[in-house]
Amino acid sequence: MRQAKTPRPDRQLSLEKAEAILEGGMQEFLAHGYAATSMDRVALAAKVSKATVYSHFQDKESLFTVLIQRLVEKKFGSVFDVADAQILQAPPKVVLQEFANRVLDIGMNEPQFLNFMRLILGESERFPALARTFVRNVEQTAFRNLCQYFANSPHLKLDDPEATARVFIGAIIHFLIVQEILHGKDIMPIERGRIISVLIHLITGEEKL
């Protein structure tokens, strides 16, 4: 006689459904764009009812916002975390090289993240609130970590740590957008190592890597 399956707690079922909705939402947003994606499409992709989708997310914007928060936190939240204390004690050129490479690795080696960036850039004019949410979450993770490093590093004497962090991050994001998202690497290719080396030289004054 087959033993009956132990029913899963409601909380576990709810978490599993929320995960399915998030995955379905990501799939639909990337395939059809923000404007063309409906909660009906998301429900079909997630294989749940429309009522279940609305029980977890108030509307399409709130679903998209959670996707932004989760993706940015997952990718950028640990660019430098507590476990990297040893790296942060290294010379600035080593720290900055590691930081830049981690950010570029996320952008260049993970198609889903790159496609999500394309989606946000493409929809930013019609839906500025979504773009602001993305920027706000990046600011709270990778940018804040770098800004704190510049402000607290005993090896660097910077007049404006925040502006320096913006220049550093801005150059890296510009490289990522032009080379990867706008396909500029076929027109004006440049090695990422050259960009990183020049940035570090400008900030630290040390010889190029």
pLDDT for position 196? 96
Structural domains for the chain:
10-57 (1.10.10.60), 68-204 (1.10.357)
Q: What is the pTM of this model?
A: 0.78
Q: How far apart are CA 80 and CA 176, in angstroms?
A: 19
**pLDDT for 122-173, tens place per residue?**
999 999 999 999 888 888 888 888 898 999 988 898 999 999 999 999 999 9
| 46 close to 23: Cβ distance less than 8 angstroms | yes
Contact 168, 96 (CB under 8 A): yes
Average pLDDT, the chain: 87
Burial code (b: 16+ CB inside 10 Å, e: under 16) for 114-146 equals bebbbbbeebbeebeebbebbeebbeebbbebb
